[in-house]
Structure 1
Amino acid sequence: MAMYVPLFSSVYARYQGANRDCPRIISLDEAFAGVDENNIRDMFKLLEELNLNFIMNSQILWGDYDTVKSLSICELIRPNNADFVTVIRYHWDGKVKELVIDEVEEDEGVSIA
């Protein structure tokens, strides 16, 4: 946690000089590794309070904490070292994590996903 608070604060300060409509993105690899659940919850709360957009990856992190208002979650699955990766999408609305299923519509013989 001693690393993340100064990191988030410096990113926030840097974005203060940007246009108001610019994305405020922070990206973390192996996000919050070694941080306990309560502190992870608080880190997401801090990200929300600083109004930062984030992209994170982790083997165990879902981000579905009560301190997160809304979140798009992508689970990548590569079965048995296959030559492909399947993406399973979820949406967190602050209370419930739901599987996102894209509906395919037919429009004059063309599939739209």
Structure 2
Amino acid sequence: MRVHFAAQIKNARARHRDLPYRDLLTQVLDYRRWRQFAFQLVRPDRTEEKLTRARHSRLSGGEQSVSLHLPLFAAAHAMLNSAHPHAPRLLALDEAFAGVDDTGRGELMSLAAQFDLDLFMTGYDLWAAHAAVPAAAHYDLAHSAIDHTVSALLLVWDGARLLADDTGDLTAALGSPGTRRVPAAEPEAARPEAAVAG
């Protein structure tokens, strides 16, 4: 990759000798010029219209979210198809599918599975337990304001049922070294004694 971009910069410098180096880098590394996607909104009656910002703003909240996720998945699929076959097909989504109902979430996850995308998602009340999803690991986080702690419970969707790791066996079966566990309390004899001034 380094060789490729070095050659692109060298060629751009040869073509535009008067352009400041910063502007030249901006031009060469502007990924928005590499691919272009046009979005069409397909209505239930199969008619199509261009999805502009104005048209997008007239959609409901759920429709807006879906209309953003669909092209994102299609773009990721198109880009990752040109990558090495063993390259990760990872897509990270923060507050994934916000405003989308459970049926819509299932359809979006089904599309991600069809495109062979591996999703890394965060969100409130977000579950990947849908029939179209072959497998998913889910961490349910619980915050205790009293103890100032956050606990995590691993749940694994195996395509048919949700398995909870309430005993820690599932984490070990998935290959976790278990290094993030709270260390066991030291025995009383091993603790240093505190001196009390009287």
TM-score (norm 1): 0.86
> After the TM superposition, which parts of structure 1 deviate over 4 Å for at least 4 consecutive aligned residues?
none
Q: Which has the higher contact order (CA 8 A, sep 6+)?
A: 1
Residue 102 in structure 1 maps to residue 102 in structure 2:
no
Q: CA RMSD in A?
A: 1.7
Segments of 5+ residues of structure 2 without an aligned counterpart are: 1-65, 179-198
SS in 1 for 2:149: coil
Q: Report the CA distance shift for 1:10/1:81 in structure 2 as closer, same or farther (over 3 A).
A: farther
Indicate which of 48, 52, 67 corresponds to 2:132.
67
CA distance in 2, matches of 1:23, 1:55: 12
Q: Percent identity?
A: 25
Q: CA-to-partner distance for each residue in 1:5-63, whole Å, 9 max, x for gaps?
A: 10000011111111111110001111101011111110000000000001001111111
Q: How does 1:36-47 map to 2 (within 5 A)?
A: 36-47=101-112
Residue in structure 2 matched with residue 108 of structure 1 by the alignment: none
Structure 2 residue 142 is matched with structure 1 residue 77? yes
Provide the residue aligned with 1:20 in structure 2.
Answer: 85
* Greater fraction of residues in strand: 1
- How much does 1:80 deviate? 1.8
- TM-score under structure 2 length normalisation: 0.50
Aligned residues: 106
Can you list the C-alpha shifts for 1:71-95, whole angstroms capped at 9, x where unaligned? 1111111112643321110110111
